Amino acid sequence: MAKITYPCPCASGKLYPDCCELVHKGKLDFPNAEQTMRARYTAFCYGEIGYLVDTLHPKKRRIGDAFSLSKLIKKTRWIGLKIVDHQPGDEISYVEFVAYRIENGLIAQQHERSKFVLMKGKWFYFDGEALPDLKLERNEPCFCGSGKKFKKCHETLPGKLESL
């Protein structure tokens, strides 16, 4: 397998091997819920199903989670992440984010307020509240991280922006 030499999808500005890959391979745990959420997003991008299941709160795990995640990952191309808010806490934290993807040929967004619970020094995704889509302004930077304005980047893709 070729070494990945491009930025980590979590938008940290680091390369994947120096960022979320360390977490996915169990060499590092992120110290807060926001960074754990970013690593979960990157796990969706790269098909790291084991990490997604491992960071799902044990009370929320179900038989077939890995299979369901595998099906979702195969039909989805994740193209951008925006952290809207992080409300840290000692045992419970909330992260509001928007994750953008191409699914069935259309751009879609998942806007969510996720609840994370700290157990034995590790953050776990507990559940999430779906929020209304964010309006994308034509002159703001594109969510994909290209550095271009939205109007010169993904606004020009065929299809319309849809939510889950």
Q: Give 95-125 pLDDT, tens digit per residue.
A: 999 999 887 777 888 999 999 999 999 999 9
Question: Does residue 11 belong to any structural domain of this protein?
Answer: no
pLDDT (0 to 100) of residue 2? 58
Residue 135 placed within a domain: yes
Domain presence at residue 129:
yes
The domain total for the chain is: 1
Residue 153: inside a domain: yes
In a domain, 131, yes or no: yes
Angle, alpha carbons 108-20-27 (nearest 5°): 150
- 2 inside domain: no
CATH of the domain at 26: 3.10.450.50
Q: What is the pLDDT of the chain when averaged over all its residues?
A: 85
Would 136 be classed as within a structural domain?
Answer: yes
Residue 161: is its pLDDT beyond 60? no
| Domain membership flag for residue 71 | yes
What is the rounded average pLDDT of the residues 8-13?
A: 89
The pLDDT-based confidence of 126 (bands split at 50, 70, 90) is very high
Rounded CA-CA distance 55/148 in Å is 33
Helices vs. strands in the chain: H and E counts, helices first? 4, 5
Full domain range(s) for residue 114: 16-163
